[in-house]
Structure 1
Amino acid sequence: MAARWSSPVRYVECDQQGVVFNAHYLTWADEASNAWWAAHGLPWDELVARGVDPVVKASSLEWSSSARFGDTVTVDAETGKVGRTSVTVRFTVRVGERLCCVVSTTYVCLTEAGKAPWPDDVRARITGG
């Protein structure tokens, strides 16, 4: 199941040449992750209230072109690999049809006891099963 998040590029996100500073692509992926979890029927606040805390283990970014001040970015979030205790989500950042960046983020399930397998109902939702 995919999710989408979109936003105009703000002046504060750009350098003096009007090009988006690289760290903001991670911020946009983080924004889109909320939509991704919610699209699976797992709003972030409900997960945390249950004691399930998906934390970022790793993120990688691959740039193709720059977003600039005045653009509107759209981030599509899609489920990648689902492991016993982790899930990788692919965030594709575009301006119109132009690909800007792909962010791949792996989340690990943490509980009060530490790293743990996804609860059965959470796993079923993120795998579409």
Structure 2
Amino acid sequence: MKSRTELRVRYAETDAMGVAHHAVYPVWFEVGRGDLMRTLGLPYTEVEARGFYLMLTDLQVGYRRAARYDDLLTLETQVLEARSRTLTFGYQVLRGEERVALGETRHIATDQHYRPASIPEDIRALLAAGGQP
């Protein structure tokens, strides 16, 4: 399953050339993750209420085209892999049919003391099912 989030490039997100700054893409990815998890019926607030966090361990962004001020973009987010302690999310930023950027984030589950922890089986199964095409 993929979630689709519409984003409009705000003026504050651009550089002096009117191009979306590279630093906003990870923020957009976070918006997409939140939307995907809510779509799956698992808001991140519930994850934390169950006693664990999903800490970022790796972030990759491949920039293909410039996104500019006021562009309407679509962010597609999906679970690529759900393992016992780690999750990988994939992202695609589109302007119409044109690919603007691709990305991935990896996360490790930790307890509230930041020690690695297993993702509860019901949550992992939900996320793994959401990651199917």
TM range (shorter): over 0.9
Q: Which residue of 2 aligns with 1:122?
A: 123
The one-letter code matched in structure 2 to 1:90 is G
Answer yes or no: is the 8 Å Cα contact 2:81–2:128 preserved in 1: no
The answer for unaligned runs of 5 or more in structure 1 is none
Q: How many residues align?
A: 129
The question of 1:55 aligning with 2:55 is answered yes
Whole-angstrom distance in 1 between the partners of 2:73 and 2:24: 11
Answer yes or no: is the 8 Å Cα contact 2:85–2:119 preserved in 1: yes
The TM-score normalised by the length of structure 2 is 0.91
Q: Which residue of 2 aligns with 1:109?
A: 109
**Deviation digits for residues 76-99 of structure 1 (CA, Å, limit 9, x no counterpart):** 001112222001000101111110
Answer yes or no: is the 8 Å Cα contact 1:88–1:107 preserved in 2: yes
Alpha-carbon distance, 1:101 to partner: 0.6
Whole-angstrom distance in 1 between the partners of 2:54 and 2:39: 15
Q: How much is the aligned-residue C-alpha RMSD, in angstroms? A: 1.3
Answer yes or no: is the 8 Å Cα contact 1:2–1:39 preserved in 2: no
Identity of aligned residues (%): 26
Report 1:1-129 matches (<5 A).
1-112=1-112, 114-128=115-129
**Deviation digits for residues 67-118 of structure 1 (CA, Å, limit 9, x no counterpart):** 0002011100011122220010001011111101111001111113511111
The one-letter code matched in structure 2 to 1:9 is V
**Deviation digits for residues 17-49 of structure 1 (CA, Å, limit 9, x no counterpart):** 110100101110011110111122210111111
The TM-score normalised by the length of structure 1 is 0.94
Answer yes or no: is the 8 Å Cα contact 2:80–2:89 preserved in 1: yes
Answer yes or no: is the 8 Å Cα contact 2:2–2:78 preserved in 1: yes
